[in-house]
Structure 1
Amino acid sequence: MKLLAYWILILCTFISVKSYGQNPIIQDVFTADPAPIVHNDTVFLYTSHDTATVEATNYQMKDWLVFSSTDMVNWTNHGAKLSPKSFSWATGDAYAAHCIERNGKFYWYVSTFHKKNKNSNGGAAIGVAVSDSPTGPFKDAIGKALITNEMTTDNEHGWDDIDPAVFIDDDGQAYLYWGNGSCKWAKLKDNMVELDGPIHHFKPKHFIEGPWVYKRKDLYYLVYASAGTKPEMIEYCTAKSPEGPWNYQGIIMGNVPNCFTVHPGVATFKGKDYFFYHNGTLPTGGSYRRSICVDYMHYNEDGTIRKVTQTKEGVLSAE
């Protein structure tokens, strides 16, 4: 009887962990760089895909994945919907990406590397794919890179054109933000596949990469991975315009477990605010085998963001 009671206790403990230990939210594959959007009462989550071995000392990221959820707890894996092979001009790994809907089409902005040819000496580049559905199929929208390394000269290193994020303001103007080492931005034309003006760059306090821009009430937020400490943290600025000037506000979230990098994603769904990020806490996980998590996000009355608490429990069902 004592032995039976012991095994019942073990089983109950296991069930409890599986029921309440939601984070990371994707546990059957390594994911990173979360980019959530809300469409038709569903959260669609666009992610990088870590495929490096346990012994690897660098990234191996061969494609981008799509997941969806109607309750923030149960996630459907729609599989790999895009890869650098989808772009004739691209080579290398599939770094952070961001998808957004406009006029019934879904535009997926991705960062990878450019082949060396007559149009480019190589280096990081940003492309855009398009689909009529949030889960694809996606195809290269313009047959060339939207941003190449030659278009930005404020940093000497060749990997500064990564981590795109797109924001559409209330007046319909779309903006593209990206960068490593400095934050770059440019307006997009209504067709979402051409720049509408010059490229600007600036350096928010501690900025390293992974910008995410959104608006809440009358305030614009620029959230990013910071290099104020190592490993990275998440910090942010606010502004009265998507073009700045940006005022530094502080740290949203500290270092994550077992991972050097971190990458933000923000979504409001069914009246609650959610903060997405990645860490390295799955078994055999680490800086090159990351996993996406989500926790609640809260604001003060003045619009500043309260520090996000990282939890193993994650969030409750939004249904």
Structure 2
Amino acid sequence: MLATDNFSATYHIGGTTYYELYKAELGLDKENVASLEEKNNSELSKTRTTAVIKRVFPREARRGDVFTTELEMLTICKHRNIVTLLGVCDEGSEMILVVEHASNGYLDEYLFNIKYRPILSWAKRLKICLDVGHALNYLHYEMENQKTIINCDIRSGTIALDENWGAKIVDFGFSIFLPPNLDALHLNCILGHECSIDPEYEDTGKLKRESDVYSFGVVLFEILCGRVANDDEFTRESDKGLAFVIRRCFHEGTLKEMIDPIIKNECTNKDSLDVFIKIAYQCLAKTQDQRPTMKVVIKELEKALTLQVSQDTFCLYSFST
């Protein structure tokens, strides 16, 4: 493929056991050119867009399912906080999806590297959480034709950040449609990342919207702690990673010691943190029926953000005077 110099390492930006990711500069397609026919040729020749090339590994049963599922999901999902599908190639052994590029990378990159974490202020982290929350609420309750999608793979590595630090869910390879008039599915296989999987789903095979809520709760605590869920320090204590440690600290009354020191050193509103921690912990309830819906989660995150914005305004005023 010309855009990646035949998938050269120069353009490689990441991957999983199912696919590799490449960043490439692409020209306009014919439809885009037609829509811009009033521009002169010199302007058109300069029109480029940066995209992510997702190359699924050679066709095997499970990997073929991942490709087909993601293609179907991205074709019907239309939301500002879900990555946009730009193109597709399905020829022979090649299975390729072309999606929009988010220029600020992926959330887990900032949690892995302490040098990058100060970029994410508490207010910025709250806005990222809200963006993902709105995307999940759309998948669960607001899609056209009463469709419902359970993503099954919400984690910091599947959340991309655009040039304005807006968050977008980028991975739908494990996603599942929830049939109309059903609240749950019973599956024989467990989908998702081991440190983010809903424990009730893992034990019983019962998959619900609240399974995504649990995974989102793990992301909320990743953002609060400034650490990824499978950090070596957490997995040494349990193969469930951060969620297990959070639950232990909650019962010991030491949960606030887990907060990212970078946040503690900011002009951070205590009530904002308290509201955030309370709703995040509710998301991690062991049973699905005890977890809040995404509508409730969004309401509490908005409250936490409002409290922090008020604090930021006060701090700015105090500094200026």
Which TM-score band (shorter chain)?
under 0.3
* Greater relative contact order structure (CA < 8 Å, 6+ sep): 1
With structure 1 as the length reference, what TM-score do the two structures score?
0.27
Higher strand share: 1
With structure 2 as the length reference, what TM-score do the two structures score?
0.27
